[in-house]
Amino acid sequence: MNLHFTFLSLSQTNIFRLVKNTLILFIFLLSSLSSAQLRTQLDSIRNLLEQETNDSLKVIYKMKLSRKIHREKHDEDSEISHAESAVELALMTNDSLLYAKALDNLGLLNRYHQIYDHALNLHIKAYELIENKKVDPLHKMIFSNNAGVAARYNQKYDTSILYYMKALSLAEKENDLKNIGIACNGIGNALSNLPDRADESLSYFKRALKTQKKLEYTLGISMNYLSIADYYIDKENYVMARQYLQKLVELNQERNDRFGLAITYEYYGTSYLEEGKNYSKAIFYFEKSIDLFKKLKNKHRVAGLLYSLGQTYFEKENYDKAESYFNQSLEISKQINQFGMIIVNTFKISQLLEKKENYKEALKFYKISETYEDSIKIEEQNIKIEALTRQYNLEKKENRIQLLVKDKALQKAVVDKQKEQLERRKAISILLGIGFIFILIIFLLQYRNYRTKKKTNARITKEEKAKMNAIYERNIAQAEILVTRLRINPHFLFNSLNAITYLIQSEQNSKAIKYLKIFSRYTRMVLETSKQQVIPLQEELKLAHYYLMLEGNRFEKDFTFNITGDDAPEIENIFIPPLLLQPFLENAIWHGLLRSQHEEKMLSINILCVENSTQIIIDDNGIGRGNRTKQNRSKTHKSMGMQIVKERIELHNKSYVGKIEYKIIDKKDENGEALGTQIILDLQQNCSDQKATLHNHK
């Protein structure tokens, strides 16, 4: 029996060797054929591009060439260069749809290279170019879906859902099942990343699945099976998750999709690992997935799965096995420069070595993890800088082309004017030839026309100069307003973060979360209003409310504040420069209340509405300005807060119809002792005038 088994083994070995050699030869021939075919395709597109004289077709060929280079050669500089050239040429064709397609193509290439900020801006710009134009709705769906994907990868989930919803609305109007499925799947994936909205994602996944089944689109069905399974894994409903994974296995087997099967086995393993009941099955499925990905030569996936195997053995407390798999994953991650996997593997190995009390080696791997983490941060910064540079270069090219178009139009106007002058001179010559009698009349007429034209030109020149001076002064005023508006005290930001850090360190987590939300809302509002000259008074009061809550967090328990009159309907159409109140509030808190000996330190903001006027009264029970001056006498630093306020109010009063005035009142008792400070801001503005002024500035 042993002899028979040996004979079979030898026969099988020879057969396997023959099959292996044949397969290697076939792969080599196929690879050579594919390379030759690729070169032929690229050369064919290049030849078409060189021979083409039509600019619109050139744009299309440039886009095709950029995408082909990306798919086959991954030469980032070359593909981006061709895509940017397509954008520049498309802009010169004055074809909005073609220009939008070129922008969308450039956005896709940036997204493929993980430059998500720039990609998102390009997709949004492409969509907005044709949003209100009569073009095939399919283009609008594609651009908005692409914007949704880029925003989701950039973790801007609200923007992602906004553009997915636009695509879904268009697809529903057109009854386009394919794009309904794409948009629904995208919305589901975006919602699944929002903790408070994750439950809503399932309905969108199921709707997407339903549309793909109607179309009998097996790849789309597979994607949605996987999304639904992932949803149930997150919800710890592992039984339901594995039911969908089983459907996915059967579908991928029908499609003979090895990559799909490998992904499905990976998710099977993940479900058992996270369930924590049957680690053997987790190991079984991870190993099956690894085998398939090795055959597919997908080292990225193999590295991730080896890490998952290590994590599984770590949970089983088989630390030697775990360390072995972490080391294998680390080795592959280094080969493919996958920094994220290098970080998690070195960190895990550090933990294992620490458990084994090998502290020296543990520290070594921990430092490696920290080094790679710093490298990732630097790489992310480089990517953002590259995105900003590309966006700047694109905008510069657009401006240059627009200037060329305007210059061309101006030159045409000059030529037309010269032709007109030549025709006029010709007519004069003919008239002179008719007779000497008319010479004097013509001379007088020409002289009168000359004087009239000279006066007219002088008047026009004077008016244009006055207009340009007015625009210049207004732009200077607006620039000064913008500069002064951005002078937010950085100490406040750092102190607020330090206060929140203290709450976290002292395990006051609920309070820390509360103030972190307030801080987030405050900074977001400041950033959102940075491009606006004026904002509604209600928004300014909301900013003041957030600011006082953040400052109140830094007092013990002796600081209170209140805002009254902020819900009055009369102030709905009142506008003021953003962050105008903050310097007053800072002075009241830091120079008045903080140094006060009162047991209860109070600050109030009251809104009073009278005819064509609104008053904002800021009142505190601090030490007053007199005592404040004495205490500040030894300090060399002089606060510029009030000077900035004064300048901003003056600039506002120059630019808008409504006027702002303020006065500061030192409150004192009968004995002349300070009781605090009162500030009254008088907004003397009519609502209709304010609206008209805002419209003109826009």
Secondary structure (3-state) at 169: helix
Q: Are residues 477 and 623 in the same domain?
A: no
Please answer whether residues 216 and 254 qualify as being in contact, where contact means their C-beta atoms are separated by less than 8 angstroms: no
Q: Are residues 454 and 600 in the same domain?
A: no
Please answer whether residues 356 and 382 qualify as being in contact, where contact means their C-beta atoms are separated by less than 8 angstroms: no
> What stretches of 154-217 show up as alpha helix (H) in DSSP?
157-174, 177-192, 201-215
440 occurs within a structural domain:
yes
pLDDT at 178 over 80: yes
Q: Are residues 562 and 452 in the same domain?
A: no
Q: What is the dihedral of CA 14, 15, 17, 23, to 10 degrees?
A: 160
528 occurs within a structural domain:
yes
Please answer whether residues 365 and 343 qualify as being in contact, where contact means their C-beta atoms are separated by less than 8 angstroms: no
328 occurs within a structural domain:
no
CA distances from 517 to 195, 232, 327, 350 (A): 15, 29, 41, 35
Q: How confident is the model at residue 237 (pLDDT cuts 50, 70, 90)?
A: very high
Token duo for residue 598: 């009162």
According to the model, what pLDDT value does residue 5 have? 32
Q: Are residues 51 and 151 in the same domain?
A: yes
According to the model, what pLDDT value does residue 244 have? 92
Cα separation of 468 and 184, whole Å? 52
Half-sphere exposure of 193 (CA within 13 A, CB side): 15
419 occurs within a structural domain:
no
241 occurs within a structural domain:
no
Cα separation of 606 and 331, whole Å? 66
Q: What is the pLDDT of residues 17-44, one digit of tens each?
A: 433 343 333 333 344 444 445 457 777 8
Q: Are residues 471 and 555 in the same domain?
A: no
Q: How confident is the model at residue 146 (pLDDT cuts 50, 70, 90)?
A: very high
Q: Are residues 121 and 197 in the same domain?
A: yes
| pLDDT mean over 535-545 | 91
According to the model, what pLDDT value does residue 32 have? 42
Q: What pTM value is reported for the model?
A: 0.49
Q: Are residues 83 and 179 in the same domain?
A: yes
Q: How confident is the model at residue 409 (pLDDT cuts 50, 70, 90)?
A: low
547 occurs within a structural domain:
yes
Out of 190, 216, 242, pick the residue that ends a domain.
Answer: 216
Question: Is the CA virtual torsion 163, 165, 170, 171 positive or negative?
Answer: positive
Indicate the range of 306-310, 559-563, 654-658 predicted with least confidence. Answer: 654-658
Q: Are residues 461 and 513 in the same domain?
A: no
pLDDT cut 70: percent of the chain above it: 80
Out of 216, 249, 282, pick the residue that ends a domain.
Answer: 216
375 occurs within a structural domain:
no
Q: Are residues 509 and 620 in the same domain?
A: yes
According to the model, what pLDDT value does residue 162 have? 93
693 occurs within a structural domain:
yes
Q: How confident is the model at residue 164 (pLDDT cuts 50, 70, 90)?
A: very high
According to the model, what pLDDT value does residue 392 have? 53
Q: What is the pLDDT of residues 487-525, one digit of tens each?
A: 555 667 777 888 888 888 888 888 889 889 998 998 888
Q: How confident is the model at residue 141 (pLDDT cuts 50, 70, 90)?
A: very high
Q: What is the pLDDT of residues 84-115, one digit of tens each?
A: 888 888 888 888 899 999 999 999 988 888 78
According to the model, what pLDDT value does residue 688 have? 42
pLDDT at 226 over 50: yes
Q: Report the CATH number that the domain containing residue 147 is assigned in CATH.
A: 1.25.40.10
Q: Report the CATH number that the domain containing residue 626 is assigned in CATH.
A: 3.30.565.10
| pLDDT mean over 410-430 | 79
Q: How confident is the model at residue 480 (pLDDT cuts 50, 70, 90)?
A: low
Strands (E), 182-325: none
According to the model, what pLDDT value does residue 459 have? 84
Indicate the range of 143-152, 304-313, 678-687 predicted with least confidence. Answer: 678-687
Residues 6+ apart with CB under 8 A from 242: 229, 268, 271
Out of 216, 243, 263, pick the residue that ends a domain.
Answer: 216
- Domains of the chain: total: 3
Q: Are residues 479 and 602 in the same domain?
A: no
Q: In the chain, how long is the greatest CA-to-CA distance? A: 137
From its phi and psi, is residue 479 left (phi > 0), alpha (psi between -120 and 50) or beta? alpha
Q: What is the pLDDT of residues 33-81, one digit of tens each?
A: 444 454 577 778 878 777 887 888 888 988 988 888 888 777 888 888 8
Q: Are residues 564 and 444 in the same domain?
A: no
According to the model, what pLDDT value does residue 397 have? 54
Secondary structure (3-state) at 356: coil
According to the model, what pLDDT value does residue 287 have? 92
| pLDDT mean over 5-23 | 36
83 against 610, higher pLDDT: 83
Strand partners, 619: 604, 678
Domain that includes residue 571, residue range: 503-631+639-697
Rounded to the nearest integer, the mean pLDDT of the chain is 80
User: Alpha carbon 426 to chain centroid distance?
Assistant: 63
Q: What is the pLDDT of residues 241-281, one digit of tens each?
A: 999 999 999 999 998 999 999 999 999 999 999 999 999 99
Question: Is the CA virtual torsion 256, 259, 264, 269 positive or negative?
Answer: positive
Gyration radius from the chain CA atoms = 36
pLDDT at 691 over 80: no
Token duo for residue 327: 């080391």
Half-sphere exposure of 527 (CA within 13 A, CB side): 6
Q: What is the pLDDT of residues 444-461, one digit of tens each?
A: 888 888 888 888 888 888
Q: Are residues 478 and 547 in the same domain?
A: no
According to the model, what pLDDT value does residue 6 have? 31
